[in-house]
Structure 1
C-alpha cells in the first residue's frame, strides 16, 4: 500500500471519488463520505483500519477478499459503492447538516436512476441525518426509494468500536440473504 505524507493526505481534502455503479445492481453500498486516504488513492474504503472489504468477503458478497484497488470488480457481483456526501474530509464530523440533507436528496435521485435492489447505507447516524429519520436502527428500513429497499448497516470504520468484524459480518450476511431473495429492478418489467 502506498504511504502518503500528511501533506499529501491534506491535499486530497474536498476531492471527489467516482462512484462504482451500474444499472440494476443487487446492492448499492453507500458510505458517509470519502476519507482522505480514499480521496488520495481514488479507491473507496481505502483506509487500512476500515473493515468494509474484509466484512464484504466474510459475509459472502464476494468470493475472495478484494483490495480497495480492485473495487471495479464489484459490479460483476451486482454490487456498487457511492457516498451520502461526495467531498472528502478527514472526519465525518466535518460535514454539515445541510450537506447530509442535500446528500440524501442527491442519493435518492441516484438510486431512482440506477434502480438497485437494495441501497445499503453504512452508518446509522449518516442515514438519520441524510433522510431525517431519527428513529432508524441498523437493519432493513420501512423507507423505499421507488422499488429500491433500504438497509442500514453499521459503519465499517475502525473507529466504530460498537461493532466487531464478526458482528458486522453477520449484519452484512443478513443483507446478502435478503438481496438474494429479491430481484433488482430492471427496465423491462417482464424480466
Structure 2
C-alpha cells in the first residue's frame, strides 16, 4: 500500500515536471517567434522628421520598385551616353559611366560613333548635345524596354533636333557604386535617330 502510493506520487510528480517543461518551452517558443516578427515589422518602418514632427514611412520590397528602378536606370544610362558638352575629358567620363550600366552592345555603338567622328565633331564645333526623355515603355514580364527621346544638338550656327528610339532588355546584376540600381542593359540598339527640324 505504501509502495503503491509512493509510486503514484512519483508518477504525479514526473507528470507535473513534464507538463511544466512543455509549458515553459511553448511559452519561450511563442515569445521568441513574437519578438522576431515584431523586430521584422519594425525594420520595415522608417520615421522621417520634418522639424520636430515624425512621419512614418514604410520600406517597400524590390518587387514593388522594380519598374521604377528599371526606368530610372534606362533614363540615367541615356543621359550619360547622350548628354555631351564640347569637353573631351567629360565625354570620356560620362560615356565611361554609361558603360558600367550596359553590356557590350553599348560599347559597340560608342565605337561606331567614335569611328564616324561624332565625338570629335562635337568638340571641334563646340556643340552641346542633350537628350530629353519623352517616355519609356517597359514590359515587366519580358523586361524589354523602348526609350523615346528627343536629342538636341546646339551648334554656333544652328540647332538640330532629332527623334531617338532605342530598345533593349534589362537584367539584374549586383549593385555597385558605378551601378547603383543593380541592373544591366543588354542587347541595346538604336532603332530610330532622325532629324526633326532646324
TM norm structure 2: 0.25
Larger CA Rg, structure 1 vs 2: 2
Write 1 or 2 for the structure with the bigger share of helix.
2
Which structure has more RCO (C-alpha within 8 Å, separation ≥ 6)? 1
TM norm structure 1: 0.26
